[in-house]
Structure 1
Amino acid sequence: MCAPSTLLLQLTTIGGTRQRGQPNVKVYAVVGVPPEIQAYAMAKYSRSAQSMLESIGELSTQRAEQFLDTFYFQYGHRSIADLAHLVLAVEDVSILAAVRVVDEPLWDGQERSTRYQPFKKTGYFTPPELEGEVAARYREAGDALFTAYDGLTADLLGLLVEVVPRPAELDPKGFERTLRARAFDVSRGLLPLATITSLGQITSARVLERQISRLLSDPLPEVQRIGEALRRACLEPAEEPYRNGGEPVRAAPTLVKYTQPSPYLIETRRELESLAGEAPRLLGPPDVGRAVELADDESPFDEAVATLLYRADPVGHSYRQVQAAVRAMPERRKREVLDLAVARRGRHDELLRELQVGYQLKFDILMDYGSFRDLHRHRRCVQVIQEPTPDHGVEPAADVFPRAFGAEVAKRALQTGLGERYDWALADGLTRVRELSADAPLAAPYLLPMATLARALFKMDAAQAIYMAELRTAPAGHFSYRRVAWEMYLALREHAPELAALARPADPTEVFDLLQR
């Protein structure tokens, strides 16, 4: 039975005038019950007149597992897994892997911030598969970026403290802390995607099941290992026992036990990438002239084909370029692409995310990876993410510094040579990535600096576009995503001025206060 010491209730009754014999409405919180027992107790509402408290009181872990085995796996009632929520920590992984971990639409969690924490102490991830001279080159490149990051952070902070007046009401520690965050906003661009980070997540067992299968199917070995570690964390007994005794706890021993790599995801990805490999020859070089483009209207059929090819594009063409290629395709060829996307789909496989079509607003965004990492947290939209590549390059300090610090402070920073150091470190980093790609194609992307431009397609409705425009243009935000969100707003204003008029964004080109947080 469920150990009484694990159950905490806050019981509230709703009174008022009621008919004779009619019970009071009861609302209570249930805390400390293992996730699968909680799922069982909630699922019993559809099959029993018992209260949840009564159901929990008579349950055992074994009985819950038997129930879930029957109804979840044999009868296919997958919604039961939505009732079990799990808290999991994923620590000491690379930023590149963390982005893939959190790439779930129904994901809630938090990751370490590059604005408020120095990453010098955490170091960076080195793929254990690397050996000998290749491993030495990898570490040399990682060390160079971290050295540049540490030095630039210190010198930018020193400059800001020197030139920004401290208000009398702001104490010296708070003043320096605020300016350090502004310095980090720029210097984080030098951090490689191998930088170690940590995150915590809260998901339902159904989302977790899909997440684990997706991670196990990822081409990166680090990501596969994270998927397996998440699986074990749910199946194996907790290392920390109950403080008050009781049987060992396993987070989700039943609901995720059958998670495996998905042949559908693995094979379909491989075949689509092979098909999209023709893109460089057919489309020419990628268009990197605009940070934000609102895609043209198209039929759902064309959108599905274009999104599939966009996601698999090996060199990162814009969505507009891919759209043009799809419009020129014969119907038979489009049908072949769509059929390929479902040919290997099994009975329990969900459709690919690329097939989520029909959205009125599709923003193709080319932004630095650090800002993509920030915008990636938005869940009320469909995100189709291209693989990171050094080929899109970076923005120069002459463009970055004025957005980060304002014209006057940026001028001082550039005059003192900080801009040259920033540009040189990034150019050197991208050169090392290209050189390493031939010998270690899976390891090389880890060394991409966070300032590297990356491309992703964000599909959404107008309400989400307005929400992002308002939230992400706020003066306290990072200068890079403020610009992206503002350009999204301008594109919306041109496309749907009546709806854009409802938004209240802040123009990032206006003078801003470096001390505003």
Structure 2
Amino acid sequence: MPDNLPDVPASGSPAVTAATEVYAIHGADPEVLAYAMAKYSRSALTLRESLKEISAQRAEQFLNTFYFQYGHRSIADLAHVAFAVERLSLLAAIALVDEPRWDGQERSTRYQDFRKSGYYTPRLDDSAKAELYRSTITHLFDSYQAVGEGMLQELKQHTPRPSTMDEAAYTRTLRARAFDMARYLLPLATNTSLGQITNARTLEQQIARLLGSEYGEIRELGERLREAASGSAWNPTGDTREVKVAPTLVKYTAPSNFAAQSKLALTEAARSLMGDAPIAAMPAESPNVELIVTPPGERLSLEIDLATSLLYPHTHYRYAQLREAVRSLPEQRILELVSLGTVHRGRHDELPRAFAAANGLRFDILMDVGGFRDMHRHRRCVQLLQDYTSAHGFDTPDFPGQPPVSGSAVAAVFAEGMESAMHAYARLGGATVPDTVATASAEGSKLQAHSAAAVPVPEFRANGSLGMTWGKPLASPADGLDFPTDPKPTTVAANPDAAYVLPLATRCRSLFAMDFAQAVYISELRSTPAGHWSYRNVAWQMFQAVQRQYPGLAEHFRIRDPHEPVDLLQR
């Protein structure tokens, strides 16, 4: 009998236990380890003993029986697999990591130069569009380099090097600040790399979701992830033993027909509900964040929230605007909308994420895609993402306490890069939507730049010239670039691949639902001086929204106003 096992007690006597033992495990195949841990519920063997008696074949037989026939999916939670995913677009990376139970790390656009990373090219239907795509991406990368170098020089003029700091550290620190601004021009086509560690249940759901994507690159990514999980793992030690990843647990993954069918039904329902209503502007006092508050004593509040949350990812409307439209419907119609979220659900399909978003503190957030990618990493909340579009305009990298791009020598470079990208998006068949704010003119939507700081704000004129106004974010479209509009709010692009040319400056909308503790955590973490201005600004507005609605709870936030001056040489 092994030394770590207690003696068999006499009949009727309690067991005399040894001290608690903890040991790490290394080298077991993920599926074998999952089987061994699952045996705790069916065997008195220790994990050491279970691993010694288990073969890969026995693990497969066990998983086929209990996982697939009896639905013991918690077993897959025990099989954790590490993957490297390299040379995928930023657009695909956002889709890949969009899992509530996901752990990983991606290349940072703040600390790495992306000029040499390359970019993804989708299959375009004619040579003219292919050339437009190539030239637009090339222009954006050239602009990225020019703005990065130009803003580095602006920062050096603004912030002299201290005598105690060597030149290399000084330049490196300010170059990171320059990347903070230049990254706004990186297109979603830009290649990145990431590593992820997920359990097999999350992996199975992730693959199924990716296989059902409207983007060809993302469907191919799902296939490659399934192939990698079904084959052998790379072994850095050079061990000749073949390590299997999770072939049994992912072999039945298929595209999520439930998600695809639901999207079509909910998109049509949203179109029918909203008609050609323009997208309302965000509140003037909080242009990036809106806290959703349920009216006190409202009848059917949960049903209204569920219906709104189901429709939200398939529109470009504010949550509050969409909710008001749902609220005006008869009760039976509201319940019919809720049923659209489950009507196509299969036996093993989980409820849509929207069913978990109708509670807690809910923040409707409108921000640049680059900053959103940082916010997207938070897992202790429910996130509903809307599709990419040019409808919300874009942000300009003008940050308090440092030289603004819009007032720099490279302002025109930034403006021309954004102009070329937005025109290319429209010409490549990108989604068009109604006027971007309720006060827009009947002529159609205008492209607008935004700046959260009291700094020069660029206005792009119809003739291509760049004008400047001094102030805060504009409340309505200024004279700018005309873009074609559709009489109905199309939420799915005629050509979804047009989104690849949208730069990270482009604004996107998402709903974050969380408990109070997570709201405090995000607000505190994302408002620190070392962070990027974009999400520091959003974190501050989240705090302010809670403070206005629940003033007695504001004291629990340890937060710093992002408008206060910061030391640009501290990271």
Distance 1:241 1:66 in 2: 29
Work out which of the residue numbers 488, 495, 512 in structure 2 matches 1:458.
512
1:201, CA displacement in angstroms? 0.5
Which residue is 1:317 aligned to?
A: 317
Distance 1:78 1:415 in 2: 56
Instruction: Check conservation: 1:124, 1:195, Cα contact below 8 A.
Output: yes
Which letter maps to 1:325? Answer: A
Distance 1:360 1:115 in 2: 32
Alignment pair present for 1:78 and 2:73? yes
Distance 1:207 1:183 in 2: 37
Which residue is 1:16 aligned to?
A: none
Instruction: Check conservation: 1:193, 1:450, Cα contact below 8 A.
Output: yes
Which residue is 1:258 aligned to?
A: 252
Distance 2:274 2:189 in 1: 28
1:288, CA displacement in angstroms? 4.5
Alignment pair present for 1:446 and 2:446? no
Work out which of the residue numbers 266, 289, 293 in structure 2 matches 1:292.
289
Instruction: Check conservation: 2:207, 2:225, Cα contact below 8 A.
Output: yes
Which residue is 1:470 aligned to?
A: 524
Which residue is 2:488 aligned to?
A: none
Which letter maps to 2:256? Answer: S
Which residue is 2:187 aligned to?
A: 192
CA spacing shift, 1:44–1:288, aligned 2, 3 Å:
same
Which letter maps to 2:413? Answer: R
> CA offsets per residue over residues 374-409 of structure 1, 9 Å max, x none?
1000001000000010111113x4xx3243x53xx3
CA spacing shift, 1:278–1:22, aligned 2, 3 Å:
closer
1:277, CA displacement in angstroms? 2.0
Of all paired residues, the percent bearing the same amino acid is 47
Give the SS at the match of 1:437. coil
Distance 1:301 1:20 in 2: 53
Alignment pair present for 1:486 and 2:540? yes
Bigger shift: residues 332-341 or 59-68 = 332-341
Work out which of the residue numbers 277, 288, 307 in structure 1 matches 2:271.
277
Instruction: Check conservation: 2:211, 2:218, Cα contact below 8 A.
Output: yes
Distance 1:414 1:446 in 2: 24
Distance 1:499 1:516 in 2: 31
1:287, CA displacement in angstroms? 2.4
Which residue is 2:398 aligned to?
A: 401
Instruction: Check conservation: 2:150, 2:409, Cα contact below 8 A.
Output: no
> CA offsets per residue over residues 274-295 of structure 1, 9 Å max, x none?
2212355353234245211101
CA spacing shift, 1:494–1:132, aligned 2, 3 Å:
same
1:300, CA displacement in angstroms? 1.4
Which residue is 1:390 aligned to?
A: 390
Which residue is 1:90 aligned to?
A: 85
Distance 1:440 1:274 in 2: 15
Which residue is 2:303 aligned to?
A: 301
TM-align CA RMSD: 2.0
Alignment of 1:94-105 (within 5 A): 94-105=89-100
Which residue is 1:159 aligned to?
A: 154
Which residue is 1:119 aligned to?
A: 114
1:32, CA displacement in angstroms? 1.3
Give the SS at the match of 2:367. strand
- Higher percent of residues as helix: 1
Distance 1:498 1:387 in 2: 36
CA spacing shift, 1:98–1:130, aligned 2, 3 Å:
farther
Give the SS at the match of 1:249. coil
1:358, CA displacement in angstroms? 4.1
Instruction: Check conservation: 1:368, 1:454, Cα contact below 8 A.
Output: yes
Q: TM-score, normalised by structure 2?
A: 0.83
Which residue is 2:232 aligned to?
A: 237
CA spacing shift, 1:267–1:51, aligned 2, 3 Å:
same
> CA offsets per residue over residues 5-47 of structure 1, 9 Å max, x none?
xxxxxx999xxxxx99532321100011110010011011111
CA spacing shift, 1:282–1:163, aligned 2, 3 Å:
closer
1:333, CA displacement in angstroms? 1.3
Which residue is 1:420 aligned to?
A: 412
Which letter maps to 1:420? Answer: A
CA spacing shift, 1:83–1:446, aligned 2, 3 Å:
same
Which residue is 1:343 aligned to?
A: 343
Give the SS at the match of 2:248. coil
Which residue is 1:433 aligned to?
A: 425
Bigger shift: residues 342-351 or 413-422 = 413-422
> CA offsets per residue over residues 118-148 of structure 1, 9 Å max, x none?
1000121101355422111111111111110
Which letter maps to 2:33? Answer: Q
Distance 1:464 1:20 in 2: 43
Which residue is 1:379 aligned to?
A: 379
1:78, CA displacement in angstroms? 1.0
Work out which of the residue numbers 547, 551, 556 in structure 2 matches 1:502.
556
Distance 1:323 1:385 in 2: 16
Instruction: Check conservation: 1:300, 1:357, Cα contact below 8 A.
Output: no
Instruction: Check conservation: 1:36, 1:251, Cα contact below 8 A.
Output: yes
Instruction: Check conservation: 1:469, 1:488, Cα contact below 8 A.
Output: yes
Bigger shift: residues 267-276 or 372-381 = 267-276
Alignment pair present for 1:363 and 2:357? no
Give the SS at the match of 2:528. coil
CA spacing shift, 1:130–1:500, aligned 2, 3 Å:
farther
Which residue is 1:62 aligned to?
A: 57
Which letter maps to 2:293? Answer: D
Which letter maps to 1:73? Answer: F
CA spacing shift, 1:366–1:65, aligned 2, 3 Å:
same
Instruction: Check conservation: 1:462, 1:499, Cα contact below 8 A.
Output: no
Give the SS at the match of 1:90. strand
Which letter maps to 2:43? Answer: S
Alignment pair present for 1:149 and 2:144? yes
CA spacing shift, 1:241–1:295, aligned 2, 3 Å:
closer
CA spacing shift, 1:137–1:513, aligned 2, 3 Å:
same
In structure 1, list runs of 5 or more residues that go unmatched: 1-10, 14-18
Give the SS at the match of 2:150. helix
